[in-house]
Chains A and B, each alone.
Chain A
């Protein structure tokens, strides 16, 4: 019995230490998971807010309001048409000399 106890006690203590270690790791993971879920929730909130914010810029209603505020009308309502694009692009001036090759015939 004494010999058995001598062997059992270290095993018991080792298992206890192992249990403690597993428990601590588990607690760490738990806290990490909670933290990550919290971050996820905050990011979801942020996405929701940003989506709303984006809709105020490029949502169908925002675009309609913007066009209206800038005096735009639907194409069929355009009574006077004028081409607002500039004329044909001017050709660039010839580059200054420096790399030309001049051939002189004798």
Chain B
């Protein structure tokens, strides 16, 4: 006889409810345990996107991708190309950056926001500059070097090469010395490439007639230092020939027409000792000591590009003043970066006068190794002693060798600066070390412009 629910003993009713509860709970538990066991056996889920923020790409002017991918898995598909400019990324730093060097460091915020960065760099010219710089550095056993190609009128940096270099895909294997972005970050005493700026300043201020002649013995004593000329020349020189023979004595004779403050201010106007306007990459401003601290031999040294330091990019921008009618155009590395407007430093007539002297330097002197076939070249050599901070002196035989050139001289399009430091073999002069490197890079640039051999030959015959 079945018992009515209400008729069943209280204890039995309670047990029946308990049994019912257990029966209903078991399948639920089974399902949950089943899911949990499935979850446990599942493969690890890849890191969520929050740990791999989208990082913008760095592309060259023609769209060639130079860097892409998230910060913790950054790729550099062109290998060593522009490596010193690009830098690399790593683990997040205390300041929140992932970029550790180069543009990856300086543009970290923009890249982490997912924005692409387009550079003014032309990959073909960058490759040409890097290849020829490396070859020249190895041939002359130089410690390091740099090359810059800057477009006149726009300030666009088309190439900025460093030697030595590294592969940012394997940056852990490189030494810190290989990672230096030398065109922007290495300051060095430029030597005689500084002379045209002093002459231009003297002409601009009416202190020098470009048709004048200057007494130029082979040596001069200033303060406690004797300055010598390297190349033999007549005892009296015209102003263009002061540059042609790179006469230290002739320049020192002229520099006294300036007070120390005036010379200092003029060097500043060209951008020496001043920070570059661009913020897209770390750069040094070079050293131009306060004129109040100068002793007489300091003014003489500054005039010939010693005791003052610059970067290759600063030097390129300064030469573009002479080639661009006296107007300073701030160098530009990133497309779209806001920079101050160009400003006039010299009158067009003065810039033109000095620029013609630079053409004379290349045509009249033994600088045949700097002549880029098919185009006219304006340029200047520079060989400077290298200061050793540790020793507190200028060790003998250690030189910084530079050539600053502009071409085509009749319609200037680019300034090219090449510098090799501490070459161990060969003549160790700019004429034999830097000028051939300038020519090699210049020829690549002209070829890149698409001038066929025939048109080059025709262009050559017109000069």
Contacts and interface: CB of A to CB of B under 8 A. Distances in A.
Contacts of B65: 51
B388 interface: no
A55 B79 contact: yes
A16 B77 contact: no
B444 interface: yes
B43 A34 contact: yes
Interface in A34-65: 34-35, 37-38, 41, 44, 48, 51-52, 54-56, 59-61, 63-65
Contact of A2 (B5, B35, B69, B77): B5
B307 interface: no
Interface residues of B, number: 46
Contacts, number: 108
Contacts of A75: 443, 446-447, 451-453, 456
B279 to A, nearest CB: 27
B42 A77 contact: no
Contacts of B372: 76
Nearest to B45: A34
B45 to A, nearest CB: 6
Given A27-B38, A48-B75, A34 B127 contact: no
A61 B127 CA distance: 5
B78 A59 contact: yes
A76 B81 contact: no
B130 interface: yes
B46 interface: yes
Contact of B453 (A44, A59, A65, A81): A81
Contact of A61 (B31, B78, B446): B78
A63 B127 contact: yes
A31 B443 contact: no
13 contacts: A27-B38, A34-B42, A37-B45, A48-B69, A48-B75, A55-B77, A59-B77, A59-B79, A59-B123, A60-B127, A61-B131, A64-B131, A74-B444
